[in-house]
Chain A
Amino acid sequence: MSRFFNALRDGVGFDVLLVGAALLFLLALAGAPLLYNVLMSFQQVDMFTLGVLFRPFVGFDNYVAVVRQPEFWLVTRNTLIFVFGSMTGQFVLGFALALFFAQKFPGAATIRGLFLVSWVMPGLVVGAIWSWILAGDFGVLNVILKSLGIIQANVFWKSDPNFSIWAVIIANIWLGLAFNMLLLSVGLAAIPRDLYEAAELDGANAFQRFWTITLPMMRSTIGAVLSLGLIGTLQQFDLFPALTEGGPANTSNVAGYWSWQLSFQLYDFAKGATVSVMMFVLVLFASIVYVRSTRHEVRG
């Protein structure tokens, strides 16, 4: 017994304990639900089998049923628009802001810090704020656009089928902007100043320095930001109940929110699980890209 405690105190025992705790946590709270989810997607889940673990096995029936849902292709299309639009907006604007705050001017660090407010705020709160900004009748965005002469009549962002997905995208860009900016700022700060000076003396103008020094040196950071952006965007949930609830008529519905609707509004747990497994495969792919991009660090 004392040997056990000695090993715990002085030997590898303590390390094993720490690793074990983390592993247990991961298995219980991430691994098990994940497996259960996959399992459910191959089962027939209804009122009578809800309480048991081993339900009737139905093969790929749930997957076929999900794809045959009339809204499936609309949701897929929306998900792609949402992911692509959000990531592009977050990345481009985030990069622009990161470059802006990398310039030395008084208060640069403080103002950059303030930008993090959007990242710190809960998604539901952000959704509520944007719900007000985007409101059709009295929203401030309409007022601004009208006063600039860009639109003539009010745009009903949240309830117009042509704009509803973009309403969520705009809010999501704002929500993820600061996170992108922060990661990209760190990447920018890691590029030695004298590389830019050397490039300047070699005759590179600002644009050439960006293309030949900044971008290649940021390769791994950009890979990480894009992968994390994909994961974060696919997981985005809070904004949907706060803004559009996926409507009108699913025109702003995406896979993640649809999966929740199937499970917890229609109580069709099998289909909900199936949609989330499909998403999981996508996220897994993004994670592999992310891990690989961090492994290929190009630093002198």
Chain B
Amino acid sequence: MTAQIELRNIDKYYGSFHALKGVRLTIEKGTFVALVGPSGCGKSTLLRSIAGLETITSGDIAIAGQNMTGVPPRRRDVAMVFQSYALYPHMTVEENLTYSLRLHGVGKAEARLKAGEVAATIGLSQLLGRYPRQLSGGQRQRVAMGRAIIRNPKAFLFDEPLSNLDAALRVQMRKEIRALHDRLGATSVYVTHDQIEAMTMADWVVVMRDGVIEQQGRPLDLYDKPVNRFVAGFIGSPAMNFLPATVTPDGQGLTLDGYGADRIPLASPAAPGQAVIAGMRPEHLRMAQGPASFHLEVGTIESTGSATYLASADGALQLVQSERADLRPGDRVGLEIDPARIHLFDPETSARI
């Protein structure tokens, strides 16, 4: 495996605003990398810096082994799919697809042939003569993809490409983009604020906040071992519960502050008497069959048929389970959790303990 995109200590300032803070990232050839984070975290800025649409303040960008820092976008040989698709409204689908070829002096017949091939791969063959305004959202999305594919670039950059589509189409396009990536053996960088998209599509997920990479790794590693409270809360839906807790004097268990004297066992011992934040995913909490780890007063119950969502009366705790529950607001239920699935965070630094 060789690095297709290499980012070394990227810094970016907008005036006095520090948008990217010493970002280092290596993207292997053929991988699908998702940049994910809340809005304003710098993920789009990072993507646009790779494309060359933003100039970085300091640091180095290498694409396919060549230093591309300061090189204009048209010489970087990367293709981008924009959130708005950015199709040329005055050109037909075919003209949109072949625009880059025509700029590079490819003959009409050859360009036409290639447009036909690409259109066939993405299912646009019937629409080559249409203008973008005559297409549906999903079709425009495909044209934008086709325009990227036809160039056979060194990397594909996606800037929230699915956010303008409705939910059903989004799920379908998610699969298609991933399948296309695999078929082309491409290197893709995909920006999204939707952690589900990142988790389902990517080989490697990079979580960003405030211009800093908080954590990067394989999707399930991020889910299983978040390095801090932010990543823990960002990855997974519904979000992880965070409850202030204290380690018991023997170091083998926890008591949740405000939930009485119930004792929750820990998988590995912690410093006795330490104040911690206990992170528990809603899907890992179960209603206890035998003795409970702790108890909860039911606030709201929402049932979708396949899953039941329970929230505590104080709103601090949420759990989801696949069995139906015959409960009423105000009922007291006993809960248990696999000790290995409790995450402990430092209340001061938010880092994983």
Given the known interface contacts A194-B84, A197-B82, A300-B132, the answer about A202 and B90 at a Cβ–Cβ threshold of 8 Å is no
Q: Which residues of A contact B86 (CB under 8 A)?
A: 192, 194-195, 197-198
Most chain B CB within 10 A, of A197, A198, A203, A204, is at A198
Whether the Cβ atoms of A202 and B84 lie closer than 8 Å is no
Task: Give the interface size bracket for B toward A.
Answer: 20 to 34
Cα-based distance from A298 to B147 in the complex (angstroms): 21
A212→B74 CA distance, assembly (Å): 15
Contact B53 A200 (CB under 8 A): yes
At the interface, yes or no: A216 with Cβ under 8 Å from chain B? yes
Q: Which residues of B contact A208 (CB under 8 A)?
A: 103
Asked whether, in the complex, the Cβ of A300 is within 8 Å of the Cβ of B99, the reply is: no
Q: Is the CB of B99 within 8 A of A202?
A: yes
A197 and B74: CB pair below 8 A? no
Asked if A299 is at the interface (CB within 8 A of a chain B CB), the reply is: yes
* B133 and A300 contacting across the interface, CB-CB below 8 Å: yes
Bound CA–CA A192/B83 (angstroms): 13
Contact call A203/B104, Cβ cutoff below 8 A: yes
Taking a contact as CB atoms under 8 Å apart, the answer to whether B90 and A201 are in contact is no
* Contact residue among B89, B99, B104 (Cβ-Cβ distance under 8 Å from A199): B99
Task: Kindly report which residue of chain A lies nearest to residue B102, judged by CB atoms.
Answer: A212
Q: Tell me which residues from 22 to 53 in chain B have a Cβ below 8 Å from any Cβ of chain A.
A: 51-53
A203: which of B51, B80, B103, B133 is its contact (CB, 8 Å)? B103
User: Complex formed: what's the CA distance from A213 to B91 in Å?
Assistant: 10
Residues of A within 8 A of B78 (CB): 201
B99 touches A201 (CB 8 A): no
Q: In the complex, A299→B73 CA distance in Å?
A: 25
Residue A205 interfacial (CB < 8 Å): yes
The range of chain A's interface size is: 20 to 34
> Given A201-B51, A201-B79, A203-B74, is A299 in contact with B84 using a C-beta cutoff of 8 Å?
no
- Kindly state the separation between the CA atoms of A213 and B151 in the bound complex, as whole angstroms: 19
Assess whether B88 is interfacial by the CB under 8 Å rule: yes
Out of B51, B79, B90, B103, which one reaches A298, CB within 8 Å? Answer: B90
- A220, chain B: closest CB distance, angstroms: 11
How many angstroms from the CA of A199 to the CA of B82 in the assembled complex? 12
| A224 interfacial by beta-carbon distance below 8 Å | no
Q: How far is the CA of A66 from the CA of B80 in the complex (A)?
A: 64
For B76, list chain A residues within 8 Å (CB): 201
Expressed in whole angstroms, the Cα–Cα distance for A48 and B190 within the complex equals: 86
Residues of B within 8 A of A198 (CB): 80, 82, 86-88, 147
Residue contact B87 to A212, C-beta cutoff 8 Å: no
Task: Decide if A228 is an interface residue (CB 8 Å cutoff).
Answer: no
Q: How far is the CB of B85 from chain A (nearest CB, A)?
A: 9
Q: CA A216 – CA B90 in complex, angstroms?
A: 7
Contacts of A219 in B (CB 8 A): 90
Q: What is the bound-complex CA distance between A201 and B52, given in angstroms?
A: 9
Partner of B103, one of A195, A202, A217: A202
Smallest CB-CB separation from A205: which chain B residue? B74
Chain A contacts to B: CB under 8 angstroms:
192, 194-195, 197-205, 208, 212-213, 216-217, 219, 298-300
Q: Which residues of B contact A (CB under 8 A)?
A: 51-53, 72-74, 76, 78-80, 82, 84, 86-90, 99-100, 103-104, 132-133, 147, 151
Closest 10 CB pairs of A and B: A300-B89, A202-B100, A194-B86, A198-B86, A216-B90, A203-B74, A200-B73, A203-B103, A201-B73, A194-B82
Q: List 19 A-B contacts (CB under 8 A).
A: A194-B84, A195-B86, A197-B51, A197-B80, A197-B86, A198-B82, A200-B72, A201-B53, A201-B78, A201-B79, A202-B74, A202-B100, A203-B103, A204-B99, A204-B103, A208-B103, A216-B90, A300-B132, A300-B133
Known: A197-B80, A199-B88, A202-B74. 9 other contacts (CB 8 A): A192-B84, A198-B88, A200-B72, A202-B79, A202-B99, A202-B100, A205-B74, A298-B90, A300-B87
